[in-house]
Structure 1
Amino acid sequence: MQYRTLGKTGLKVSVVGIGTWQYGGEWGEFYTQPQVDAVMDTAREEGINLIDTAECYGDHLSESFVGRAIEMDRDKWIVATKFGHHYNDYLDRDQLWSVDDVKIQLEESLKSLKTDHIDIYQFHSGENTVFDNQELWTYLDKQKKAGIIGHLGISISNSHEGVLEYQSEKATEVGAEILQLYYNRLDRRPEEKAFKECRKQELGVLARVPLASGFLSGKYKPGTVFSKDDVRSHRSQEKIDSELREVQRIQKEEMPEGISMAAWALAWCLRDPVVTTVIPGCRNPNQVRANAEASDLAGTLIFP
């Protein structure tokens, strides 16, 4: 496993991390603690040391799975979680951005993760109107000084106009040192709208959804229909098929033979040194091993 320095934080993180949204029950499967333990055991074996989770992947459910899985060696992991939302039900969340609300979320995350500190605490997919809240950032800075939060980050959604550019530009101003960005071979918007600021401000970058919600794994073909309890089913079938046709083109025209598409797609994200770590979701130990292959490929493949 290769490691990169996470911007100006000084943290040495594995170039492949573990994303954990799936453990909250919104990807067509419900998980048990032994299943999550097996994923984390394999991550240890592969040298992975960064885990990304969130307050609303279930009602702190993903955090609880993670907390129990790494309790025995918590100090060896870099744990990133998020704030700003409360899970009610499947794809039903309240957005809660006041200092009082975030204080409760932070306390619940610490409890769920079975820890006394969070290495990376991230503003979670909020619009600019709630981002511009000096009282909130002042409160979070106090938690950093108290040692409860190690570093602040911004997990940016691409779904609202102007958010990517604005929040990237404002990162250092609000005390954030890390950006989590949607970035993959099918979605390259950060290259134009954020990477310049990341270099200028020396921000660490976590590549979110680097396999395009599994589409870049190569497992799915046009015509695939996802179950109603899978978050991907909420896209139009036309959009799903269009993206999967593009995946087939990439497989045919851009990929060398003899490697897995998932490892290739992760290595593609890492080809630019501005990206510190990719955080694909891992359903089982085999996926962890397959994703870890990207560490070696990132330094050897030549990309078109």
Structure 2
Amino acid sequence: MQQRTLGKTDLKVSAEGFGCMGLTSFYGAPAAENEAIDLIHKAIDLGVTFFDTAESYGPFLNEKLVGRALKGRRDSVVIATKFGWVWSVNGERSLNSRPDHIFKVVDESLQRLDTEYIDLYYQHRLDPQVPIEETVGALAELIKQGKIRHIGLSEVGPKTLRRAHAVHPITALQTEYSLWERDPEAEILPTLRELGIGFVAYSPLGRGFLTGEIKKVQDLDANDFRRSDPRFQGENFARNVELVELVRQLAATKHATPGQIALAWLLHKGNDIVPIPGTKRLKYLEENIAATEIALSPEEMSQLEASIGKSAGARYSETGMRAISRD
């Protein structure tokens, strides 16, 4: 697989990464551990070098799984993980990006991942109680200590990016971006390119919607978080099914799946963009990786963009949207 460089750095990753979240969390029943590890190994065999996890996935279970899966292969992969969420004794979640907290939880992530360093360490969500300068200053200290190698942010806007980058170069921003979530194009992508920061696109398949495989919400597991996702509800769902049908039409002419077309579109939006689709199934892993070989003409790109309107519904619940910063 082709490699891409994140930001103005020496961090090279596969053009398509692997989002590990769904192996343990949020998307229904977790994968069996042996199957999840086999899937990660297969991804490596197919050229994937970039694996994304977070302490909050599980919580903590995902990092442990990734650590076990990558044992013995550490030198050939790039590991990205995230900090920032904390849980109370009754399971409620809040944000904490104070330096003392970061210094504590990085060691815990290193232990779970069974590694001496983290390649890319993201702040999972902006903590409104802690100036971004303090958070990035703490992360810069971790680079000096050799515990992390690059700093990332997630779901922040241009002003925060500039403030953070002034303290220490930011290597990558992770934000949702896909054919039906194009909000980053207005201000975020131009800012990233001005500053020389890479873009890691999560949910590049619209949480599975753009694959065309989800026919009705009832097909999802009872504990799948998408059952409460506004885009999967009622009239929103019906409208979004129509959008997927337009992708399907182009896919048929390219002898590809709708998901492959959605990924190919994103890969064509710039060499500074790295999507990180996730899956529990080998079939979809192979399909996703094959999308890196699909060529789309400028006319096909324009056709897709003109035909796919704005998706219906917010991308998270009201609570989830409150954690998204666009400052």
**TM exceeding 0.5:** yes
Q: Which ranges in structure 1 are unaligned for 5 or more consecutive residues?
A: 157-162
Return 28-37 or 14-23, whichever deviates more.
28-37
Is 2:301 the partner of 1:303? Answer: yes
User: How far apart are 1:276 and its partner, in Å?
Assistant: 2.9
Task: Tell me the equivalent position of 1:173.
Answer: 166
User: How far apart are 1:90 and its partner, in Å?
Assistant: 12
Q: Retained in 2: the 8 A contact 1:269–1:275?
A: no
User: How far apart are 1:179 and its partner, in Å?
Assistant: 0.8
1:218-229 superposed matches below 5 A? 218-221=212-215, 226-229=220-223
Q: Which ranges in structure 2 are unaligned for 5 or more consecutive residues?
A: 303-327
**1:172-203 residue CA offsets vs partner (Å, 9 max, x unmatched):** 22422211121000000111121111111111
Task: Tell me the equivalent position of 2:198.
Answer: 204
Report the RMSD for the aligned CA atoms in angstroms: 2.3
**CA distance in structure 1 between the aligned counterparts of 2:205 and 2:20, rounded to whole angstroms:** 14
Q: Retained in 1: the 8 A contact 2:265–2:296?
A: no
Is 2:49 the partner of 1:49? Answer: yes
User: How far apart are 1:106 and its partner, in Å?
Assistant: 0.8
Q: Retained in 2: the 8 A contact 1:42–1:289?
A: no
| 9 and 65 in structure 1: CA distance in 2 versus 1, 3 angstrom threshold | same
Q: Name the SS for the 1:184 alignment partner.
A: coil
Aligned to 1:291, which of 288, 291, 303? 288
User: How far apart are 1:255 and its partner, in Å?
Assistant: 6.2
User: How far apart are 1:21 and its partner, in Å?
Assistant: 1.2
User: How far apart are 1:241 and its partner, in Å?
Assistant: 2.9
1:24-43 superposed matches below 5 A? 24-43=24-43
Task: Tell me the equivalent position of 2:237.
Answer: 240
**CA distance in structure 2 between the aligned counterparts of 1:21 and 1:46, rounded to whole angstroms:** 19
Q: Retained in 2: the 8 A contact 1:99–1:139?
A: yes
| 88 and 251 in structure 1: CA distance in 2 versus 1, 3 angstrom threshold | farther
Task: Tell me the equivalent position of 1:276.
Answer: 273
Is 2:180 the partner of 1:186? Answer: yes
Task: Give TM-score, length-normalised by structure 1.
Answer: 0.90
Is 2:99 the partner of 1:106? Answer: no
User: How far apart are 1:57 and its partner, in Å?
Assistant: 0.1
**CA distance in structure 2 between the aligned counterparts of 1:40 and 1:211, rounded to whole angstroms:** 19
| 89 and 226 in structure 1: CA distance in 2 versus 1, 3 angstrom threshold | farther
Q: Retained in 1: the 8 A contact 2:251–2:258?
A: no
Q: Retained in 2: the 8 A contact 1:221–1:245?
A: no
Q: Name the SS for the 2:86 alignment partner.
A: strand
| 290 and 136 in structure 1: CA distance in 2 versus 1, 3 angstrom threshold | same
User: How far apart are 1:134 and its partner, in Å?
Assistant: 2.8
Q: Which amino acid aligns with 1:262?
A: G
Return 67-76 or 86-95, whichever deviates more.
86-95
Q: Which amino acid aligns with 1:153?
A: G
Task: Tell me the equivalent position of 1:260.
Answer: 257
Task: Tell me the equivalent position of 2:137.
Answer: 138
**1:201-232 residue CA offsets vs partner (Å, 9 max, x unmatched):** 11111111100100011101356553331010
Q: Name the SS for the 2:157 alignment partner.
A: helix
Q: Retained in 1: the 8 A contact 2:83–2:121?
A: yes
Task: Tell me the equivalent position of 2:154.
Answer: 155
Q: Retained in 1: the 8 A contact 2:4–2:271?
A: no
Identity of aligned residues (%): 30
User: How far apart are 1:55 and its partner, in Å?
Assistant: 0.8
Q: Which amino acid aligns with 2:238?
A: D
| 255 and 195 in structure 1: CA distance in 2 versus 1, 3 angstrom threshold | farther
Q: Name the SS for the 1:30 alignment partner.
A: coil
Q: Number of paired residues?
A: 297
Q: Retained in 1: the 8 A contact 2:7–2:272?
A: no
Q: Retained in 2: the 8 A contact 1:205–1:274?
A: no
Q: Which amino acid aligns with 1:208?
A: Y
Return 23-32 or 197-206, whichever deviates more.
23-32
**CA distance in structure 2 between the aligned counterparts of 1:221 and 1:185, rounded to whole angstroms:** 19
Return 113-122 or 13-22, whichever deviates more.
13-22
| 295 and 15 in structure 1: CA distance in 2 versus 1, 3 angstrom threshold | same
**CA distance in structure 2 between the aligned counterparts of 1:67 and 1:222, rounded to whole angstroms:** 35
User: How far apart are 1:31 and its partner, in Å?
Assistant: 2.5
